[in-house]
Amino acid sequence: MVRNFLYILIFTCLSISLLTSCGEIDPDRTPADQRVGILGAGATFPAPLITAMADDYRDLTKRRVTVNYQSIGSGGGIRQFIEQTVMFGMSEAFLSDQVMEDIERQTGGKAFNIPVTLADVVPTYNLPGIRQNLVFSGELLVEIFMGRVTRWNDPKIAELNPDVRLPDTAITVVHRSDGSGTTNIWTSYLSRVSDEWRGRVGFATSVNWPTGIGGNGNEGVAGAVINTPGAIGYNSLSYAVLNNMSYGSVINQAGNIIKPSFEATTEAANIELPDDTRILFTNTPAEHGYPIAGFAWMLVYENLDHNNAISSRSEAKELIRFLVWCITEGQVLSHPLGFARIPDTALEKNLVMIRQLKWEGELIGEEVLDEVDFEKLPS
């Protein structure tokens, strides 16, 4: 019986190997030796976009290049990038100075943070009978999430929404309880507008909330908000729209009331960017920018040969090709999927960085960029 079991085991292994190798003889695929697998991991929020890009790119290359992206969270993305188990990381927080220095010391080159998309977070709420777009200010959101503004008819809310008849309902704060990039951007905005918030709560993918109930995932927050009259939470814009939730406008630094939209999010990043694009622009100075937004960066090593996860020059080149495609043609996928496109300023900085990518000293980034015909790209 045990022997039979072994036979079954061997048979199964064999049949699986047969099955998969049969797949390889598919005529419209190129020979196996040219196929490339690219492994990336990181932030959850941009995962739908990146995986959709991976899907399209796979079709585009006739299944020659497969990009496996696993959403393990921004923190996981940074950690796996540092430990060189992935070819690229993905994060909603840029690498810290400390990490940048460590990497420069180890690999003799920089680590590049390349913005690929933008994340935006909107305040969502449940006030039965009120369909108007409520207006919030940063200070007000801090007061609410600190647990100091506890009723919807509080003068501080009424002041910003003079035309709305606010009910005397208790406010229930709903926040993410799992680690999340959404929380990172939301708390980073609250930290930017309030020193007290920065000192007491700070910003991170999960924080020690002063008040409120926790929901697991975007959905948990949405579920809790939808089911609790008087609740206020925060979700990504695409998710709020998809689920038909009420969401508020936010007054930005310039004093304009900004209704969340892809354009307003893109506009938020339309500011003077540093060359390495490592900037947090929540509470953006951009005049018409939506203030609760941030980049999602793809992380790559300048000296690609120093990343243990990349084994050959051709793999490195394929990675760069995918990266270039993501920030150019791939951007057309953004709006249908509920993402904002990166602004031209960011694209320019990205191209400068990509131009510096090297394999054993050779500027392969430049080689790849020379292949691309920028005239033909959709704007």
Instruction: Name which of residues 222 to 261 contact another protein (CB under 8 A).
Output: 222-224, 227-228, 239, 242
Q: Exactly one of 73, 289, 291, 343 binds another protein (CB under 8 A); which one?
A: 73
- Contact segment (CB under 8 A) with another protein among 10-18, 246-254, 275-283, 293-301 equals 10-18
Site string for another protein, 168-187 (x = CB under 8 A): ----x----xxxx------x
* Total binding residues toward another protein, as defined by CB under 8 A: 77
Instruction: Kindly state the smallest distance separating residue 94's Cβ from another protein, in Å.
Output: 12
Q: Exactly one of 122, 135, 185, 207 binds another protein (CB under 8 A); which one?
A: 207
What is the distance between the alpha carbons of residues 91 and 106, in angstroms, rounded to a whole number?
A: 21
Q: Exactly one of 13, 254, 332, 363 binds another protein (CB under 8 A); which one?
A: 13
Q: Exactly one of 88, 112, 203, 262 binds another protein (CB under 8 A); which one?
A: 203
Closest of 201, 221, 177, 180 to residue 76, by C-alpha: 180
- Contact segment (CB under 8 A) with another protein among 65-73, 118-126, 161-169, 279-287 equals 65-73
Instruction: Kindly state the smallest distance separating residue 238's Cβ from another protein, in Å.
Output: 9
What is the widest separation between alpha-carbon atoms in the chain? 80
Restricting to residues 277-296, name those near another protein by CB under 8 A.
none
Class of residue 276 by CB neighbours under 10 A (exposed 0-12, middle 13-18, buried 19+): middle
Which of 148/200 has CB closer to another protein? 200
| 333 interacts with another protein by CB under 8 A | yes
Q: Exactly one of 100, 133, 166, 217 binds another protein (CB under 8 A); which one?
A: 217
Q: Exactly one of 30, 132, 216, 312 binds another protein (CB under 8 A); which one?
A: 216
What is the distance between the alpha carbons of residues 87 and 36, in angstroms, rounded to a whole number?
A: 12
| 25 interacts with another protein by CB under 8 A | no
Which of 78/353 has CB closer to another protein? 78
Structure tokens at 15: 């049949």
Q: What is the dihedral of CA 224, 230, 233, 237, to 10 degrees?
A: 100
Q: Exactly one of 70, 106, 150, 356 binds another protein (CB under 8 A); which one?
A: 70
Instruction: Kindly state the smallest distance separating residue 79's Cβ from another protein, in Å.
Output: 6
Which of 174/300 has CB closer to another protein? 174
Residue 52, CB-side half-sphere exposure with 13 Å CA sphere: 17
CA atoms 346, 82, 105, 366: torsion sign? negative
| 54 interacts with another protein by CB under 8 A | yes
- Contact segment (CB under 8 A) with another protein among 13-21, 125-133, 141-149, 291-299 equals 13-21
| 218 interacts with another protein by CB under 8 A | yes
Instruction: Kindly state the smallest distance separating residue 6's Cβ from another protein, in Å.
Output: 8
What type of residue is 30? Answer: T
DSSP string, 362-375: B-HHHHHHHH--GG
Closest of 178, 204, 176, 180 to residue 190, by C-alpha: 204
What type of residue is 223? Answer: G
Restricting to residues 105-134, name those near another protein by CB under 8 A.
none
| 147 interacts with another protein by CB under 8 A | no
Restricting to residues 77-96, name those near another protein by CB under 8 A.
78-79, 83-85
> What are the helix (H) ranges across 177-249?
181-193, 195-200, 217-227, 237-242
CA atoms 73, 141, 236, 152: torsion sign? positive
Order of all β-strands in the sheet with 249-251: 135-136, 249-251, 257-258
Which of 16/363 has CB closer to another protein? 16
Closest of 183, 186, 192, 180 to residue 284, by C-alpha: 192
Element holding 249 (H helix, E strand): strand 249-251
Which of 70/356 has CB closer to another protein? 70
| 61 interacts with another protein by CB under 8 A | no
For the chain, counts of helices (H) and of strands (E): 15, 12
